[in-house]
Amino acid sequence: MSLSLLSAVSYVRVSTTRQVDRGGERDGFSIPAQREANRKQAHVLGALISAEFVDRGQSGRSTNRPELQRMLTYIREHSVDYVIVHKLDRLARSRADDITITQAVDATGARLVSSTEGIDSTPNGVLLHGIMASIAEFYSRNLAQEVMKGMRQKAIQGGTPGRAPIGYLNVRRQTEDGREYRAIQLDSDRAPHIAWAFDTYATGGWSVAQLATALTDRGLQTRATASRSPAALTVASLHRVLTNPYYKGVVTLNGAQHAGSHEPLVPTATWETVQCLLTSRRQGERSRIHTHYLKSTVRCFNCQHRLLVHNARSKSGRVYDYFVCSGRQHGTPRCTQSALRIGDVERRVEDAYERIQISAYRRREIELHWQDRLAAEASGSEQKRSDLAVQAQEIRLRQVKLLEAYYSDALPRDLFIKEQRKLAESLSRTEAEEDRLSDDVASQTKHLAESLDLLEDACNRYLAAAPADRKQLNNALIDHVLIGPNPEDIHVELRPEIAKLGLRGAAEEDFV
């Protein structure tokens, strides 16, 4: 007479990848311990484990786990007597999921067994099973609540809950008495690239897609994790970076914003400029097949809509490049402007640079005027800065009170977020004005010199520049150019910070 062994499957799960990697081994310590306990339980039952299913780094709060689903499929397709787990909470963390999985196991004729808990088919065993499943659910929900409470308190104190975004590193440090704590520091390899991305996009001359390509060319990659290799930033992930207030020193948790204790990577003014550009371009210019360095600079002289690049092919197959009015293309009634040859527009903008550039004499005259003006402004701005500092502090106190009301459940989340956004915008404006007044004469003089450097001999510099450099020069100096079919139909509008230098007040002989 031959005895056949009973069949069993073993299911093992750990919640985090940290548990998997602990001890330098592939499966850490927890997985081998669960495996050995299940093996011993199978021996007690007189069963042979025919298959093992291991979910590494998978949460028990969802049944959508690859190895769990593979195990349920396996026991439906094979004759299995026992499903062995180390504890019931390895299968599920909610009572509803536990019932669903238990019914799926029972439907195959198999019996669920815990290697550390007295679960069987007797009434006492069924009762214990229900109690243990309820305890597992309570533990999971209570743990989540405590974790969220800790994360909220950390955010209130300016800490960073969770993994720091690209450009920063999570580090461990020690106090003088040997206590360990977690902190955030700049990532010396990646932080310069992220700062460059914000500064570059703030110029207004780049799309997010172009910026992502440039960052890849610069060598920027994400940090490696246990489950992911380093990779270049995608357009979507770069967009998340550019809209993340963490980089201006703000920690966000569940919609609530807190002043972070980490070092800001970009000035608030730069971050706000980037947000304005991103918002304006949702319906604005996008990267298209037909592109040109004058796009977004030239506009229709008649209706002031943007000019778009259009390629027309003749019957002979020859291609002609034109700028066409987007207003006329979309049916603007008042616009009758005809298409303009791109080559003609290029030459007329080149000619306009002769009227933009200034002589060395005029440059010196402007410098002397602004140096005296900046010195006078600096002496009278101290009181303004003091008033703005008081105003900013009042806004911060209102933010604290708003948070207290929200966390005490005295304010609904949607109203809290709305009011918090208003206060944040008000604070940004106040701080931006405070920063503007705080700039010393030397930094403003430097900015003045840089602007005048662009204007002096601007025409020759523009003529010698490559298309990409011409675009950057246009973005730095010109707000837009209105241009029409007639030679006199052209008007150059300088950027406000350039126009305020007083160039339009110069005599004609002051321009070269």
pLDDT by residue for the chain (512 residues), tens only, comes to 445 678 999 998 887 655 444 444 444 447 888 888 889 988 888 889 999 998 887 776 677 888 889 989 999 999 999 999 888 778 877 777 878 888 888 889 888 888 887 676 556 666 666 666 666 666 656 655 655 556 566 656 667 777 888 989 888 877 777 777 778 888 889 999 999 999 888 887 788 998 999 999 999 998 887 667 888 999 999 999 998 888 888 877 766 777 777 888 888 888 888 888 888 766 444 444 557 889 889 999 988 888 988 887 767 777 788 898 888 766 556 688 888 999 999 999 999 998 888 888 888 888 788 877 777 766 667 778 788 888 888 888 888 888 778 777 777 888 888 888 888 888 888 877 777 776 665 667 777 888 888 888 888 889 988 888 888 888 888 999 999 999 899 999 988 878 877 654 333 333 33
Strand-pair category, 307-313 with 298-300: unpaired
Q: What is the pLDDT of residue 11?
A: 92
List the structure tokens of 143.
């743990």
In three-state form (DSSP H/G/I as H, E/B as E, the rest C), the secondary structure along 158-177 is CCCCCCCCCCEEEEEEECCC
Q: What is the pLDDT of residue 24?
A: 40
Q: What is the pLDDT of residue 3?
A: 53
Helix then strand count (H, E) for the chain reads 18, 14
List the structure tokens of 179.
């206590």
Identify residue 16 by its one-letter amino acid code.
Answer: T
Q: What is the pLDDT of residue 329?
A: 62
Q: How many CA atoms lie within 13 A of 375 on its CB side?
A: 6
Among the listed residues 290, 336, 285, 334, the one whose alpha carbon sits nearest the alpha carbon of residue 311: 290
Phi first, then psi, for residue 340 (nearest 5°) are -115, 135
Sign of the torsion angle spanned by Cα atoms 184, 185, 190, 195: positive
8, 47, 49 from 3: Cα distances, Å: 16, 12, 16
Among the listed residues 47, 59, 55, the one whose alpha carbon sits nearest the alpha carbon of residue 9: 47
Tell me the C-alpha distance between 13 and 57, whole Å. Answer: 7
Question: Contact 366/502 with Cβ under 8 angstroms?
Answer: yes
Q: What is the pLDDT of residue 491?
A: 93
DSSP letter assigned to residue 295: T
CATH topology of domain 6-151: Rossmann fold (3.40.50)
Residue owning tokens 């669903």: 100
Phi first, then psi, for residue 256 (nearest 5°) are -90, 130
**Contacts with 67 (C-beta within 8 Å, 6 or more apart), sequence order:** 11, 13, 53, 54, 55, 58
- Prediction pTM value: 0.46
If one counts every other C-beta atom within 10 angstroms of the C-beta of residue 248, the result is 21
Question: Longest C-alpha distance within the chain, in Å?
Answer: 118
Strand-pair category, 250-253 with 180-186: unpaired
Phi first, then psi, for residue 382 (nearest 5°) are -60, -45
Q: What is the pLDDT of residue 444?
A: 72
Among the listed residues 274, 203, 197, the one whose alpha carbon sits nearest the alpha carbon of residue 233: 197
186-280 CATH: 3.90.1750.20
